[in-house]
Structures are given as C-alpha cells and as structure tokens.
C-alpha cells in the first residue's frame, strides 16, 4: 500500500501517530478503525517487502467489524463513553478491528483478537473475552426483548474497507444549528472509496423497491457524501448497488449474529 502524499490525510496521520490508541477520535469509530487498519496493513506490506514474503505478519488477517442491529440501539459494556462502568453504553453502531492468525507449523488458527480503542478491555483482547465482557451473553436484557437489542456484526476484510469506505462526516453535523455533534478529526475526510461506490443504494429484495442509503435525514446533500449507512445496515440478502461491478460481499462484507461470529472466529 502506497503512502499518501497529503500529509494531513487519514493515512499519513495514521502512520505518524505516536501510538495505536492515540488514533482515537471520540464518536468517529469508523474512521478510527480505518486508520488503525491502514497502519496494520501498511506494516504488513513493509515487512513483506523487506523479508520477501517470509514474515509472520503475513499470517495475520485483519477484518473490520461493524456492530449494530435493526433498532440502531446496541447496548455494550466496557465502553469509555459510559461514565458508569457498571452500565452499558447504547450505540447506534460501533466499529472494531479483529485479527486472526494462521499457525504455519500446525496449520491451525490462533485465537482471534480485538482492537477497540473505545473499550476499557485490554488492547488487544481475545475476541471471546471481548464478546463476553461487552455483551454478557445478553443476560442483562429481559428475554422477550433480546431479539430486538441483540448485536449483529458486519465483517469486512480490512483491505476492502480501506479501498471502498468513504465519509464526509455530515452524519455528525447538525444543519439546523450549524454545529457538530462531536468535534471532527483535524485530518482530511476519508473519501478514497467515493469513485468505487458512487450513489450507494439499497435494494429491498422483498418488494423490489430501491431506496437511497441515507446518512442523515437532516439534508439531502448528505446522501452522496458517505456510504457509512451501507456498512451499518444489518439486513441480509440485500444487494447494494453502485459498486462498479465489484461483488457486493467484497465491498460490504457479511453479516453475523453473535453466535455465528463466535462459531466462525472463536473456534
């Protein structure tokens, strides 16, 4: 992956940041993880170049994971945004980075770890431990409501996310008051994927209707400046168009339930 010439780009500032945790900008987790993924993938490419492909980092595979549900209300413990550590933080969505590693000697997959800059959990943290501490088997939710607030996970290969994601951050801007809901990062917006995923739309396969993937109801100008909502969307079997002949699963990944995610990545 080539370095960006713009010194104030998300990529350049990710590489120059003093530590991985320092990449965090509160309330911009989708960008935090983009920069963390860029840093990790860039490190892989550098090591691969210097070691002719014979490096343990080549066994590492990174995935970006969006966490949400149909209600856009997902309770999570251990989050820094919650002032009371004993209570959950209710996110409309959250984003983390996970890493899996294949052991060449035994041919087995090593435990998957999570990198979450917004969590009080260890950094990194075993995925199994992270899921348990963050969601507590959903036992804190009354059984009749668990299916409503249970998390779902959209998993995308990190390199694909770096290539296709873009956001002008207008989902965080209140056009009525002309203020930001949270101070935006000082580096430039991530717009790399705009050309690849222009006019992101969502096709409802049940009724054949096509609807815009809107970032916000505040302004029609927001529709073409980001494909964030396409990642937050946790519906299955719905094709998102506007990806220039690239398969939908490559751009937007695959959706898992909590149990399915554990089965796939926790062994």
Burial of 27 (0-12, 13-18, 19+ CB in 10 A): middle
Residue 94 known to be catalytic: yes
Tokens 């409309």, residue? 92
- Of 89, 116, 189, 229, the active-site residue reads 116
Burial of 253 (0-12, 13-18, 19+ CB in 10 A): buried
If phi > 0 it is left, if psi is from -120 to 50 it is alpha, else beta; for residue 139 that is alpha
3-state class (DSSP) for residue 182:
coil
- Of 63, 74, 89, 94, the active-site residue reads 94
> Are 177 and 21 within 8 A, CB to CB?
no
- Of 29, 74, 99, 189, the active-site residue reads 29
Cβ neighbours, 10 Å, residue 7: 11
Q: Give, as one character, the DSSP assignment of residue 79.
A: B
Residue 116 known to be catalytic: yes
Residue 125 known to be catalytic: no
Longest CA span, the chain: 59
Measured distance CA(24)–CA(71) in Å, rounded = 26
- Residues known to be catalytic: 29, 94, 116
């Amino acid at each position: 992956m080539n370095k960006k010439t713009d010194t104030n780009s998300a990529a350049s500032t990710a590489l120059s940041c003093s530590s991985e945790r320092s990449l965090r900008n509160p309330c911009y987790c989708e960008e935090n993880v983009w920069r963390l993924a860029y840093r990790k993938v860039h490190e892989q490419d550098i090591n691969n170049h210097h070691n002719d492909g014979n490096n343990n980092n080549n066994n590492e595979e990174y995935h970006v994971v969006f966490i949400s549900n149909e209600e856009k209300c997902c309770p999570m413990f251990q989050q820094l945004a919650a002032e009371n550590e004993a209570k959950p933080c209710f996110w409309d969505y959250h984003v983390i980075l996970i890493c899996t590693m294949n052991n060449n000697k035994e041919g087995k997959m090593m435990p998957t770890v999570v990198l979450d800059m917004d969590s009080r959990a260890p950094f990194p943290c075993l995925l199994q431990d992270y899921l348990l501490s963050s969601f507590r088997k959903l036992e804190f939710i009354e059984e009749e409501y668990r299916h409503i607030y249970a998390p779902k996970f959209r998993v995308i290969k990190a390199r694909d996310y770096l290539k296709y994601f873009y956001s002008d951050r207008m989902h965080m801007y209140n056009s009525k008051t002309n203020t930001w809901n949270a101070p935006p990062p000082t580096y430039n917006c991530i717009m790399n994927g705009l050309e690849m995923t222009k006019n992101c739309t969502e096709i409802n396969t049940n009724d054949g209707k096509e609807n815009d993937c809107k970032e916000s109801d505040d302004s029609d100008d927001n529709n073409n400046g980001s494909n964030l909502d396409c990642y937050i969307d946790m519906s299955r079997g719905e094709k998102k168009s506007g990806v220039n002949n690239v398969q939908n699963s490559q751009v937007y990944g695959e959706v898992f339930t909590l149990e399915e995610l554990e089965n796939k990545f926790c062994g």
